[in-house]
């Protein structure tokens, strides 16, 4: 187990990801704090594996943490139901959870994503039931050097609005709803 003492809410967020079998590499402030043996950490940043089933497990873990889109306690201006979406389509994005903010980026700046980070990452025992895969220091430096600044600082961009079903005339054919005349 690590000598580093992390906030119990942060550990609970990592434990929830682990309980949902989410494959990810821990990046960002938490990963850096692990190597620096301390520091200010306000959230969790992860680079998840990008295959479909893992994105579904991540979605389930976020739901278990009562996540909503936003950052630093501020909900995103545009809210949409991420639970019905493929997270790979809206990432990078940040979520406010009942534990801590969780930043999700399938392709962190300066990297090739999970597969690239996985090779040099190592498991670190942080607490009972919490053993994340942590990006290597060189990879954390590579992300920092990418010049992207804080990759999760902005809420996700607005998505196009849903079509207004009431505007369609009854006799028009709508996707999945054939009509008879």
Q: What is the pLDDT of residue 18?
A: 95
Residue 57: which residues within 8 A CB-CB, separation 6 or more? 20, 21, 22, 23
Q: Say what the pTM is.
A: 0.76
Q: What is the pLDDT of residue 93?
A: 87
Q: What is the pLDDT of residue 146?
A: 84
Q: What is the pLDDT of residue 99?
A: 85
Q: What is the pLDDT of residue 160?
A: 44
Q: Tell me how far apart the alpha carbons of residues 20 and 15 are, in angstroms, rounded to a whole number.
A: 9
Q: What is the pLDDT of residue 151?
A: 41
Q: What is the pLDDT of residue 74?
A: 65
**Tens of pLDDT, residues 67-120:** 888 776 667 666 666 777 788 888 898 898 888 899 999 999 999 999 999 999
DSSP output for 104-172: E-SS-TTS--HHHHHTT-EE---BTTB--EE--HHHHHHHHHTS--STT-SPPPPPPPPP-GGGS-TTS
Residues of the chain with pLDDT under 70: 1-4, 72-74, 76-81, 147-181
């Amino acid at each position: 187990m690590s000598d580093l003492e992390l906030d119990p809410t942060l550990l609970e967020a990592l434990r929830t990801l682990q309980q949902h079998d989410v494959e990810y590499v821990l990046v960002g402030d938490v990963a850096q704090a692990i190597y620096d043996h301390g520091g200010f950490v306000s959230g969790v940043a992860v680079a998840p594996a990008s295959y479909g089933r893992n994105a579904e497990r991540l979605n389930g873990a976020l739901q278990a943490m009562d996540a909503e889109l936003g950052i630093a306690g501020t909900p995103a201006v545009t809210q949409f139901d991420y639970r019905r979406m493929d997270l790979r389509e809206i990432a990078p994005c940040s979520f406010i959870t009942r534990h801590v903010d969780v930043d999700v980026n399938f392709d962190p700046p300066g990297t090739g994503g999970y597969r690239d980070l996985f090779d040099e990452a190592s498991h670190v025992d942080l607490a009972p039931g919490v053993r994340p895969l942590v990006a290597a220091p060189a990879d954390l430096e590579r992300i920092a050097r990418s010049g992207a600044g804080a990759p999760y600082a902005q809420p996700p961009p607005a998505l196009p609005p849903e079509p207004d079903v009431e505007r369609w005339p009854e006799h028009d054919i709508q996707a999945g709803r054939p009509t008879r005349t």
